[in-house]
Structure 1
Amino acid sequence: ADLKGKKIGVTAPGSSTAMMASYVLAKGGLKPSDVSFIGVGASSGAITAVKSGQVDAIANLDPVITMLQRDNLIKVISDTRTLKDTQAVYGGPMPAAVLYVHNKFVQENPNTCQALANAMVHALRWLQKAGPSEIVKTVPESYLLGDRSLYLAAWEKVREAMSPDGLMPEAGPPTALRVLQTFEESLKTKQIDLSKTYTNAFAKKAAAKYA
């Protein structure tokens, strides 16, 4: 409730960080309209927004949050960077970055969809084994925010949250819907067949390819 009327920095309005902030606000009895969401990006712009007082609070990603914590510029009140913390906040696994397309595209371009899934699963498998020096080589310099060691420290914190196989966990879609229904009025009374909203077929085929 202390955040009512405040400016909250998010990566972009409508983004996953805005969704997470909206959910935390709803748990505190506030609606998204009770605050102002300000897009600050996910790099140096976000840090500048906090330092300059452009925002009163922030929902963002690493390494931004770790850097702000290190400099004692913020106090974390809700954290989803580990599986344990995600479970505590959402009450279940929360799908984050996913590939999504219209059903028509899947039907008309199955090979393209499979190629995309192959690339994702291959990358996820690599991330499970890659060392710090290998990972840094693949990251754009701007993502490091001028501090490679801090970026790698932040990465080690979130590594466990990266899917090892690209499969959607069975409890993921119900968790996502329940969270969205907390603050999205249009979804509160909708009956949705979640089994029709995702498929693990492409990821399973990719997993077999890279077994």
Structure 2
Amino acid sequence: MRTTTRISAAVAAGALALTTLTACGGDSAAGGGDGNVKIMVGGLDKVIYLPAMLTERLGHFKDEGVSVQLLTEPAGVQAETALVSGDVQGTVGFYDHTLDLQVKGKQVESVVQFSHAPGEVEIVSEKAAGDLTSAKDFKGKKLGVTGLGSSTDFLTKYLAVSNGVKTSEFTPVAVGAGQTFISALQQGSIQGGMTTDPTVATVLDKKLGRVLIDMRTPEGSQEALGGPYPSSSLYMRTEWVESHKETVQKLANAFVKTLKWMSTHSADEIAAKMPADYAQGGGKELYARAIESTLPMFTTDGVMPADGPATVERVLKAFNPNLKNAKVDLSKTYTTEFVKKAG
């Protein structure tokens, strides 16, 4: 059953509006107990985070006997904040936040790795396409990101500095995703920006912009970032994982079942399982196309790619002063304990 509520999250920015979706089974009102979990997603309708809602729609949470409340925030950085503040037990967001949080004294870890590529696309508006032909042209531009401090912000900064543009020489603009991103592109308040499907598919379909850098595949990640870039994942506070192993195993079982299911079904079949409004007004055909474009980013087993953490560390250290001279213990940023036991 799908319900929408207004929830107050005690975060630094104040009260945030959240959309609540409750999975079947058990008492979902109380979060945090064994078999009761709240998970914040950095945009439930984004294709990069599709396994979260798909797992519910396939009934895998219920099959595992775990009651999951899926919440949504427009940007991964807000989802991260909800986890750190204790409002939720898990976050579906980018793995790179685990490194950023570690140097800030917060220990969190990826327990299921959904992907081995970012799934992100740098879009340039048709109006700006003439003088924005590569990341070398970022200088002086206003570039859209989902939120300041988000993974789209991280990746945009890396693409800039790795192409000779200082982070102070362009302006990141927090525009979210979906219609807010599209409106910013249309109105010219940004010349380009980083976003995901189905927003990418909609922009291309409406001929509002074109692809500048495509990181939806492992090959695209290799070209832009120099290696596999594990992105969307289920990450949780390490302390909570250690004290709730049975529940974490159930979550891992459910998500791995979904990843395997995705690897053996078509984009059309996947789209048919998802809520109709996730197409963002583009219709079933466009939504299925968006899923098909992004499918290569997903793992089939939830296991962290071997060279992935090192790539993420190198990318973050290229521009992030907090990480540049900090020692990061990558072994504490993820675990494969649960996914390797998943059937």
- What is the TM-score of this pair, normalised by structure 2? 0.57
Q: Check the 8 A contact 1:43/1:142 in 2, yes or no.
A: no
Q: Check the 8 A contact 2:146/2:176 in 1, yes or no.
A: yes
- The 5 Å alignment of 1:36-47 reads 36-47=171-182
Q: Check the 8 A contact 1:8/1:57 in 2, yes or no.
A: yes
Counterpart position of 2:32: none
Counterpart position of 1:30: 165
- Unpaired runs of 5+ residues, structure 2, are 1-135
Alpha-carbon shift at residue 65 of structure 1 (Å) = 1.6
Counterpart position of 1:140: 275
Counterpart position of 1:128: 263
Letter aligned with residue 266 of structure 2: G
Q: Check the 8 A contact 2:316/2:323 in 1, yes or no.
A: yes
Alpha-carbon shift at residue 87 of structure 1 (Å) = 0.9
Letter aligned with residue 299 of structure 2: S
- Which contiguous aligned blocks of 4+ residues in structure 1 show a shift greater than 6 angstroms? none
Residue 102 of structure 1: which of 237, 241, 265 is its match? 237
Alpha-carbon shift at residue 133 of structure 1 (Å) = 4.1
Alpha-carbon shift at residue 184 of structure 1 (Å) = 0.4
Alpha-carbon shift at residue 21 of structure 1 (Å) = 0.9
CA distance in 1, matches of 2:304, 2:229: 10
Counterpart position of 2:322: 186
Counterpart position of 1:74: 209
Secondary structure in structure 2 of the residue aligned to 1:55: coil
Q: Check the 8 A contact 2:225/2:311 in 1, yes or no.
A: yes
Which string of whole-angstrom CA distances, capped at 9 and with x for unpartnered residues, describes residues 173-202 of structure 1?
000000000110121122223122211111
Q: Check the 8 A contact 2:271/2:291 in 1, yes or no.
A: no
Counterpart position of 1:57: 192
Percent identical pairs in the alignment equals 38
Alpha-carbon shift at residue 124 of structure 1 (Å) = 0.6
Letter aligned with residue 139 of structure 1: M
Query: Over the residues paired in the alignment, what is the CA RMSD in angstroms?
Result: 1.8
Is residue 162 from structure 1 mapped to residue 283 from structure 2 by the alignment?
no
* Cα distance change of structure 1 residues 113 and 42 upon mapping to structure 2, 3 Å threshold: same
Alpha-carbon shift at residue 37 of structure 1 (Å) = 2.2
Between 1:66-75 and 1:87-96, the stretch displaced more is 66-75
* Cα distance change of structure 1 residues 137 and 75 upon mapping to structure 2, 3 Å threshold: closer
Secondary structure in structure 1 of the residue aligned to 2:195: coil
- Unpaired runs of 5+ residues, structure 1, are none
CA distance in 1, matches of 2:160, 2:269: 38
Which string of whole-angstrom CA distances, capped at 9 and with x for unpartnered residues, describes residues 52-86 of structure 1?
21212110001212332333322322210111111
Q: Check the 8 A contact 1:43/1:143 in 2, yes or no.
A: no
Residue 177 of structure 1: which of 313, 324, 335 is its match? 313
Letter aligned with residue 193 of structure 1: D
Letter aligned with residue 171 of structure 1: D
* Cα distance change of structure 1 residues 40 and 140 upon mapping to structure 2, 3 Å threshold: farther
CA distance in 2, matches of 1:94, 1:44: 27
Is residue 9 from structure 1 mapped to residue 150 from structure 2 by the alignment?
no
Q: Where is the strand percentage greater, Structure 1 or Structure 2?
A: 2
Which string of whole-angstrom CA distances, capped at 9 and with x for unpartnered residues, describes residues 123-163 of structure 1?
11111122344322332333212222122112112212211
CA distance in 2, matches of 1:141, 1:13: 29
CA distance in 1, matches of 2:297, 2:176: 22
Secondary structure in structure 1 of the residue aligned to 2:212: coil
CA distance in 2, matches of 1:129, 1:109: 31
CA distance in 2, matches of 1:22, 1:110: 36
Q: Where is the helix percentage greater, Structure 1 or Structure 2?
A: 1
